[in-house]
Structure 1
Amino acid sequence: MMSRFRKYSAGFLLLILIPQTLVAQQQGAEQVKQLESDGIERTEQGRDTQQQVDAMHGRSRNLVDEYYTHLKLVEGLQLYNTMLGKQLTSQREEIELLRSSISEVAVVSRQILPLMARMVDGLEQFIELDVPFLLTERRHRVAKLRGLMLRADVTVAEKVRRVMEAYQVENDYGRTIEAYKAKLQLQDASFDADFLRIGRVGLLYRTIGSDEVGYWDSKQNTWEPLANSPWLRHIEQGLRVARQEVAPEMISIALDPTQEIVR
């Protein structure tokens, strides 16, 4: 009896335990699925979070790069401003120097202009006392200088240059020979003549048509005639040399009628 009861009891317990085991397994499976679902969800959340972190890192990196770029730009601008500051300082100094120079130029100009006027006067006197060659041209040059001195639209530097240029032209006359045509005034008569200038030491003429020859006597300040022979031949040769019609050669010219001609 007891043995049968025990068998029934064990069977009953087995019937009770089997459903509980199935329930436990089912619950375990559901828990596993829930864990898997939770794991997947956390994984997806982690992936989303990582993507957000990566995006934030990328933006942070871009901000850092942009910051360094602007920092370099600022450094460049600071260096540029420093250089500009030095340039401005230099320009201010230059401006002050120019202002000082301008004031000095005004003083110098007030001194130079009277000097230039005296130089023009001296040049005019020199021409009138000099050997009388190219008088029309030389007097015209002096007249132009006088007009130039009165012009307000011409700088002082240009006036100085023109006066010095005129002096240089007069200086060059002493180192050259020249042949030119002009009017010869002898007493009350005027003749067309060829003139031969040899520096400032000799000025001779040959009248056109009559072939009369003569020279300027610097001691007497007058024109003196010469005998046609042999002076005409020598003066004609000198005229050809001065006009570059023949090759340069030694010529005999009467600089002083008391001297003999060297043939």
Structure 2
Amino acid sequence: MNRFRYSAIVLAALSALPTFATQIDQAKSIQNRTNQASAHSQTVIDKSASASIELKTSIERLREEVNNLRVYRNHLNTLIQSQNSEMASLEQQISDIKETRQGIVPLMYQMIEGLRQIVAQDKPIKLTQRQERIEKLTALMGRADVSEAEKYRRILEAYQIEMDYGNKIAAYQDEITTTDDVTREADILYVGRLSLVARSLNHQQFWSWDTQSRRWVDGDISHLAQINQAFDLANQQIAPALLDLPVSLTVAEAK
């Protein structure tokens, strides 16, 4: 009887083995699927983590670019404000220049006319050159390719030259017309605006400018030595010395 029970138990166990093996296989299969799912999940997690890191990196880079753009925008705003201020200043300067030009142009014409009157009333020192200079200034005023500043500078330069005639002693050659209505080439000497004399080219005769009659009058031949000495001094042929020359002054100038 016991042997029969044992045999039955053995048979029952043997009959249960296929079912148990199937369950083990199922468990292994589940385990494998679980492992695969875990591996897949880990791969997804790794990809997500990598994507998250890249996203954070991109966000940081974009944030830095935004900050740089903000700094650049502020810089541009500062430049624009500066340019607007400079533009307003230039517009004001242009307006001022227009107003100044409207005032300076008539003044320049008046100055040229003033030069013309000075030369006409003055002693005939380098008269031809001075008259030509005035005519050139008059022509210059009508030229569009020359700035107003350059025109004004030339006029001031002409006035400076006129002033220099009163501070220099110099000699040059030019034609004169004497009291006998004869036009001749002569050496001319001026000592500022105090004295203006002319000497014949052979050094044997001289004339002095008479401011009252505005003519060249014959000089006293006894003063010829002093006249020649004055010319030598003007030509830097002798050392400076005291000169004895006839003066060419009006009564008002002499006072």
Which category of TM-score, normalised to the shorter sequence, fits these structures?
0.7 to 0.9
**Alignment-derived partner of residue 251 in structure 1:** 241
Paired AA for residue 251 in structure 1? A
- 1:121–1:48 distance in 2 versus 1, CA, 3 Å: same
Q: 1:141 aligns with which of 133, 146, 150?
A: 133
User: Is 1:184–1:193's contact at 8 Å kept on the other side of the alignment?
Assistant: yes
**Alignment-derived partner of residue 252 in structure 2:** none
Q: 1:240 aligns with which of 231, 235, 241?
A: 235
Q: Within 5 Å, give how 1:1-263 maps onto structure 2.
A: 9-21=1-13, 31=23, 34-187=26-179, 188-218=181-211, 221-224=214-217, 225-227=219-221, 229-241=224-236, 249-256=239-246
Paired AA for residue 182 in structure 2? A
**Alignment-derived partner of residue 261 in structure 1:** none
| Count of aligned positions | 244
Q: Distance in 2 between matches of 1:40 and 1:176?
A: 121
- Name structure 2 gaps, 5 residues minimum: 248-255
**Deviation for aligned residue 1:222:** 3.6
CA RMSD of aligned residues (A): 3.3
What secondary structure does 1:182 align onto? strand
Q: Distance in 2 between matches of 1:208 and 1:15?
A: 172
- 1:195–1:31 distance in 2 versus 1, CA, 3 Å: farther
**Alignment-derived partner of residue 253 in structure 2:** none
> What's the % identity of the aligned pairs?
29
What secondary structure does 1:132 align onto? coil
- 1:129–1:57 distance in 2 versus 1, CA, 3 Å: same
- Name structure 1 gaps, 5 residues minimum: 1-8, 258-263
**Deviation for aligned residue 1:211:** 4.4
- 1:169–1:210 distance in 2 versus 1, CA, 3 Å: closer
- 1:24–1:198 distance in 2 versus 1, CA, 3 Å: farther
User: Is 1:215–1:226's contact at 8 Å kept on the other side of the alignment?
Assistant: no
**Alignment-derived partner of residue 5 in structure 1:** none
**Deviation for aligned residue 1:185:** 2.4
- 1:255–1:209 distance in 2 versus 1, CA, 3 Å: closer
Rg bigger for which structure? 1
What secondary structure does 1:249 align onto? coil
- 1:13–1:158 distance in 2 versus 1, CA, 3 Å: same
